[in-house]
Amino acid sequence: MKTNWNSRDIPHLEGKRAIVTGANSGIGYFTALELARAGAAVVIACRDHARGSEALDRMRAQSHGANISLEVLDLASLSSVREFSGRVCASNQSLDILVNNAGVMAVPNRELTQDGFEMQFGTNHLGHFALTGLLLKLLRAAPAPRVVTVSSAVTMWASLDLKDLQSERNYRPMKTYGQSKLANLLFMLELDRRARSRGLVSVGSHPGTSVTNLQRFAFGRLVRVFGQPAERGALPSLYAASAPEVIGGSYFGPRDWFGTVGAPAPASIPRRAQDAGVARALWEASEALTGVRIGLDDDPPAARS
């Protein structure tokens, strides 16, 4: 891989269709913008319509008429995930790239999603798990589909408690955040194990230390001093989403200063994320909690009532 890979190295993506969650700001914004600049038709999936519309206007101004559209998606609501997926699937257009980017971090007090899940685990993992499953039909219709799941460098010291996925017994803002992002990696690798033979590439990325709205509850001052701009933090996601040499199960992050800043490079996957037994158990728990079965046989994924 090129040492100083940047957005100018993204291959031509004309004819491809992409969805980026949480694209109204930060890493998601620049991921969507650069995919659109490379020629992809990009759907930015944003929780707030007004903020999404503002982001859409900025992207269109910066991308000289690229094909970008907005859809409302609240990953903290399974009904919103189902409604979004229904609208997207109604077009019957294949989906080449799904970037599971949106997230919340270090919510000070334990809060719940609309479905009663702990907010960080429910948004960061369960919302994206359900979304991926409900869009699988469109992904499988593409010639070389790719799912990029955005995790975090905090997974290097994170742990996952299968008996306390909702942090009911032990809620600490950053510990719970770490559990949700470790779940992202476990999901990414399990999806690769289940879908690689069917031609779907499941990969992961993390932005290192990047200045975004994510740090409003924690590390804001530190990140502003030592972090890199969000457009640089988006590079690992962009490489994972677009580089032709990427294979399933890969993980990318910044190259320099212990994976905190710099051009994208292969990142170390924590040992706890490589536990296939835990990944299977998390997958099964996620299906039970969301009611979405990610079918990888000849049938489309089903949403159980």
Q: Which residues are catalytic?
A: 177
Residue tagged 């942090």 (tokens): 167
CA distance 165 to 163: 6
Strands (E) across the chain are located at 17-21, 41-46, 68-72, 97-100, 146-150, 201-205, 251-256, 261-266, 292-293, 302-303
Residue 296: CB atoms within 10 A of its CB come to 16
Between CA 208 and CA 262 the distance in angstroms is 9
CA–CA dist 44, 169 (Å, integer): 36
Exposed/middle/buried for residue 217 (C-beta within 10 Å: 0-12, 13-18, 19+)? middle
Distance CA 35, CA 33 (A): 6
Sign of CA dihedral 123, 264, 233, 37: negative
Task: State both tokens at 178.
Answer: 């770490």
Q: Which of 221, 263, 207, 225 is nearest to 29 (CA)?
A: 207
Q: Which of 198, 200, 262, 196 is nearest to 227 (CA)?
A: 262
